[in-house]
């Protein structure tokens, strides 16, 4: 695969107005690589209005509008609301107006197993699901675009009275279940509570009452001379989201990962010190499978940072730690997997040792390759690919932003050094992707060893424009045209969450409160 990504940015108001005005900005070729890419983007709305789409109760649009007046982007709210209503999404009055300005920062992005749906979670506890439009619709460019399918409030802020602890509503992770019937299921979690949601469609509704008419007016009983059975009539498609299970009270620390097992009946949830195994149908008990809590908390030297099940061996899972190690555990061996089967660890280079060594070696994300053979990990400066059969060192190490090595001191001071970047595999495991600062994200081709830095921002990525590769020149080195100096990087614009379509070259990038979806131009032209 060539690492050329083309990009088109479409419509800011992502709540899918029925018609998009998509501009084709043509194709530009970069000097480095040919980049026939087309990108289109959804910029998610930065509004409290998502919260008002939790389903079930319907309210007149008028009321919703008046509620929305308090938010800044009045116009788009109206439009979005109307478009949502036309989609058949009803609006609930449970609207929290006291959202913090950071509530719409996207905190997780996840494609489902077919790539047809894409879910994002945000700091405000909302989940937005995008659906890929069926191909070959009226407009030539509309094919393959992701439009809002459903939006709901997954978690609410809570307060643990016993521990005097505030529980944030922020969605830490979303995981889709393999599809089992016409409905879709996903797990979402905040720091403490995991919830199973059902997303289903309804296109019929019952009609006909005996004792009242459809508007609810009571009929005169004397006119009721025969019984009427309700009939189901077709109606506009309505997407319903309903909570199916709530898995609570099992985590003392903050949940950082959830992962569904290939047996499709269990999943794991990991917090800082423990990993629990749940049955998807049982909410009142879970099994602790890893516990690294020392008897005395003062002896604590290491925490669990991420955990994931093997894609098809139901007995294997891996978890990463803040010390930069990976442990592979086999659930067949013991009920409590305190003893790992394999420990993946790279010996530290004594010459590179510094105050920051341990912090930057902490693994922020671990992902099994689709083949199940490799593990991809991300630490602060690098992405590494490990072979399951080689424990002593990674197979490949990719420098994500090595130019920051000289700036660790200031990154420590502004806490950026603790940022947890995620990483992703492409569908064929040949390319990996991970985020960086300044709205940059990086891709590495494992075969050709080529890499590229791209930028996800409204300014640089116009609809259907081609993404230009960016270069950061390290301090002191010679600066070329268009290069960005390390000192001018914006560390507040970070891309932590990325996802890759399971089969195609479509990626989703969360840049603070914007979601960008890019598509490989070659790919889109094939259709």
Partner 1 sequence: MSEHSGPHHTSKMAGADGDDSLYPIAVLIDELRNEDVQLRLNSIKKLSTIALALGVERTRTELLPFLTDTIYDEDEVLLALAEQLGNFTMLVGGPEYVHCLLPPLESLATVEETVVRDKAVESLRKISQEHSPVDLEVHFEPLVKRLASGDWFTSRTSACGLFSVCYPRVSSTVKAEIRQHFRTLCSDDTPMVRRAAASKLGEFAKVLELDYVKSDIISLFTALASDEQDSVRLLAVEACVSIATLLPQEDLETLVMPTLRQAAEDKSWRVRYMVADKFSELQKAVGPEITKNDLVPAFQNLLKDCEAEVRAAAANKVKEFCENLPEDSREQIIMTHILPCVKELVSDTNQHVKSALASVIMGLSTILGKDNTVEHLLPLFLAQLKDECPEVRLNIISNLDCVNEVIGIRQLSQSLLPAIVELAEDAKWRVRLAIIEYMPLLAGQLGVEFFDEKLNTLCMAWLIDHVYAIREAATCNLMKLVEKFGAEWAQNTIVPKVLGMANDPNYLHRMTTLFCINALSEACGQDITTKQMLPVVLKMSNDQVANVRFNVAKSLQKIGPVLDSNALQSEVKPVLEKLATDTDMDVKYFAQEAISGKLVFPPPAAETSLYVRFYRSGKPDDHAVFLSSSTVLSLA
Burial status of residue 412 (CB atoms within 10 A of its CB: 0-12, 13-18, 19 or more): middle
Q: Is residue 240 near partner 1 by the rule CB under 8 A? A: yes
Q: Is residue 314 near partner 1 by the rule CB under 8 A? A: yes
Shortest CB 283 distance to partner 1, Å? 13
One of 21, 138, 164, 225 touching partner 1 (CB under 8 A): 225
Shortest CB 206 distance to partner 1, Å? 5
Distance (Å, whole) CA 517 – CA 527: 18
- Nearest 5°: CA angle at 340, between 338 and 346? 130
Distance (Å, whole) CA 361 – CA 87: 47
Helices 61-68, 74-87: inter-axial angle, 10-degree rounding: 150
Shortest CB 181 distance to partner 1, Å? 4
Shortest CB 265 distance to partner 1, Å? 7
Shortest CB 52 distance to partner 1, Å? 20
Q: Is residue 295 near partner 1 by the rule CB under 8 A? A: no
Taking the least distance from each CB to partner 1, the nearer of 32 and 224 is 224
Q: Is residue 211 near partner 1 by the rule CB under 8 A? A: yes
Shortest CB 229 distance to partner 1, Å? 4
**Phi and psi, residue 514, nearest 5°:** -115, 140
Task: Scan residues 177-206 and list those touching partner 1 (CB under 8 A).
Answer: 178-183, 185, 198, 200, 202, 204, 206
Contact 326, 386 (CB under 8 A): yes
One of 113, 254, 293, 313 touching partner 1 (CB under 8 A): 313
Q: Is residue 262 near partner 1 by the rule CB under 8 A? A: yes
Taking the least distance from each CB to partner 1, the nearer of 243 and 294 is 243
Q: Is residue 94 near partner 1 by the rule CB under 8 A? A: no
Shortest CB 291 distance to partner 1, Å? 15
Q: Is residue 226 near partner 1 by the rule CB under 8 A? A: yes
Taking the least distance from each CB to partner 1, the nearer of 31 and 93 is 93
Taking the least distance from each CB to partner 1, the nearer of 37 and 55 is 55
- Residue partners of 523: CB distance under 8 A and separation at least 6: 504, 505, 506
Shortest CB 500 distance to partner 1, Å? 24
Distance (Å, whole) CA 186 – CA 166: 25
Burial status of residue 209 (CB atoms within 10 A of its CB: 0-12, 13-18, 19 or more): middle
Cα-to-chain-centroid distance, residue 33:
29
CB contact burial 296-330 (16+ within 10 A = b; e otherwise): eeeeeebbbbbbbbbbebbbbbbbbbbebbbbbbb
One of 29, 94, 97, 224 touching partner 1 (CB under 8 A): 224
Taking the least distance from each CB to partner 1, the nearer of 47 and 194 is 194
Q: Is residue 69 near partner 1 by the rule CB under 8 A? A: no
Please give the C-alpha separations between residue 497 and each of 3, 181, 311, 494, in angstroms, as whole numbers.
20, 29, 20, 9
Task: Scan residues 266-285 and list those touching partner 1 (CB under 8 A).
Answer: 281
Taking the least distance from each CB to partner 1, the nearer of 313 and 323 is 313
- Residue partners of 14: CB distance under 8 A and separation at least 6: 42, 43, 44, 45, 130, 147, 148, 515
Q: Is residue 227 near partner 1 by the rule CB under 8 A? A: yes
Please give the C-alpha separations between residue 448 and each of 4, 359, 415, 430, 451, in angstroms, as whole numbers.
13, 31, 35, 9, 9
Hey, what are 216's tokens?
């609810």
Taking the least distance from each CB to partner 1, the nearer of 159 and 355 is 159
Q: Is residue 448 near partner 1 by the rule CB under 8 A? A: no
Contact 152, 241 (CB under 8 A): yes
Shortest CB 210 distance to partner 1, Å? 4
Taking the least distance from each CB to partner 1, the nearer of 32 and 237 is 237
Taking the least distance from each CB to partner 1, the nearer of 27 and 314 is 314
- Contact characters 324-353, partner 1, x per CB under 8 A: -------xxxxx------------------
Question: How many residues line the site for partner 1 (CB under 8 A)?
Answer: 42
**Phi and psi, residue 137, nearest 5°:** -80, -170
Beta-strand pair 184-189/173-176: antiparallel
Q: Is residue 370 near partner 1 by the rule CB under 8 A? A: no
Q: Is residue 265 near partner 1 by the rule CB under 8 A? A: yes
Q: Which residues bind partner 1 (CB under 8 A)?
A: 178-183, 185, 198, 200, 202, 204, 206, 209-212, 221-222, 224-232, 240, 262-265, 281, 312-315, 331-335
């Amino acid at each position: 695969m060539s690492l050329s990504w083309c990009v088109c940015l479409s419509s800011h108001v992502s709540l899918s107005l029925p018609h998009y005005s998509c501009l084709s900005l043509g194709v530009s070729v970069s000097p480095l690589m040919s980049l026939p890419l087309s990108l289109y983007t959804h910029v998610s709305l930065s509004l409290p209005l998502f919260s008002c789409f939790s389903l079930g109760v319907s309210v007149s649009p008028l009321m919703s509008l008046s509620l929305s007046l308090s938010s800044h982007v009045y116009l788009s709210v109206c439009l979005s609301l109307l478009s949502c209503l036309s989609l058949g999404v009803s609006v609930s009055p449970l609207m929290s107006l006291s959202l913090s300005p950071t509530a719409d920062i996207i905190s997780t992005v996840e494609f489902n197993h077919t790539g047809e749906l894409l879910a994002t979670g945000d700091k405000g506890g909302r989940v937005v699901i995008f659906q890929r439009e069926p191909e070959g619709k009226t407009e030539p460019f509309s094919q393959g675009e992701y439009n809002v399918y459903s939006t709901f409030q997954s978690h609410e802020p809570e307060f643990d009275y016993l521990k005097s602890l505030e529980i944030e509503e922020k969605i830490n992770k979303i995981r889709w279940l393999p599809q089992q019937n016409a409905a879709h299921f996903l797990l979402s979690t905040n720091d403490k509570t995991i919830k199973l949601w059902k997303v289903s469609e309804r296109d019929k509704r019952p009609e006909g009452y005996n004792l009242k008419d459809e508007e609810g007016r009571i009929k005169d009983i004397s006119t009721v001379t025969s019984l009427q059975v309700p009939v189901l009539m077709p109606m506009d498609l309505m997407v319903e989201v309903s909570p199916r299970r709530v898995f609570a009270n099992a985590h003392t620390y903050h949940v950082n990962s959830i992962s569904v097992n290939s047996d499709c009946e269990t999943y794991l949830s990991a917090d800082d010190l423990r990993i629990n195994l749940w049955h998807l149908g049982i909410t009142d008990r879970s099994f602790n499978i890893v516990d690294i809590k020392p008897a005395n908390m003062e002896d604590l030297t290491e925490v669990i940072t991420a955990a994931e099940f093997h894609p098809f061996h139901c007995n294997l899972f891996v978890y990463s730690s803040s010390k930069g190690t990976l442990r592979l555990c086999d659930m067949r061996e013991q009920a409590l997997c305190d003893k790992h089967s394999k420990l993946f660890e790279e010996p530290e280079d004594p010459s590179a040792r510094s105050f920051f060594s341990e912090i930057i070696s902490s693994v922020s994300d671990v992902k099994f390759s689709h083949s199940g053979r490799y593990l991809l990990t991300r630490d602060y400066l690098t992405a590494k690919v490990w072979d399951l059969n080689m424990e002593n060192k990674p197979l490949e190490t990719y420098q994500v932003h090595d130019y920051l090595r000289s700036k660790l001191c200031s990154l420590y001071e502004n806490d950026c050094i603790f940022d947890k970047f995620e990483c992703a595999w492409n569908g064929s495991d040949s390319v990996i992707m991970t985020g960086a600062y300044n709205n940059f994200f990086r891709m590495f081709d494992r075969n050709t060893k080529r890499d590229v830095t791209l930028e996800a921002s409204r300014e640089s990525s116009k609809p259907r424009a081609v993404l230009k590769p960016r270069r950061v020149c390290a301090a002191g080195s010679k600066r070329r045209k268009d290069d960005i100096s390390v000192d001018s990087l914006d560390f507040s614009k970070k891309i932590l969450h990325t996802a890759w379509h399971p089969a195609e070259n479509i990626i989703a990038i969360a840049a603070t409160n914007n979601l960008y979806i890019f598509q490989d131009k070659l790919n889109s032209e094939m259709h």
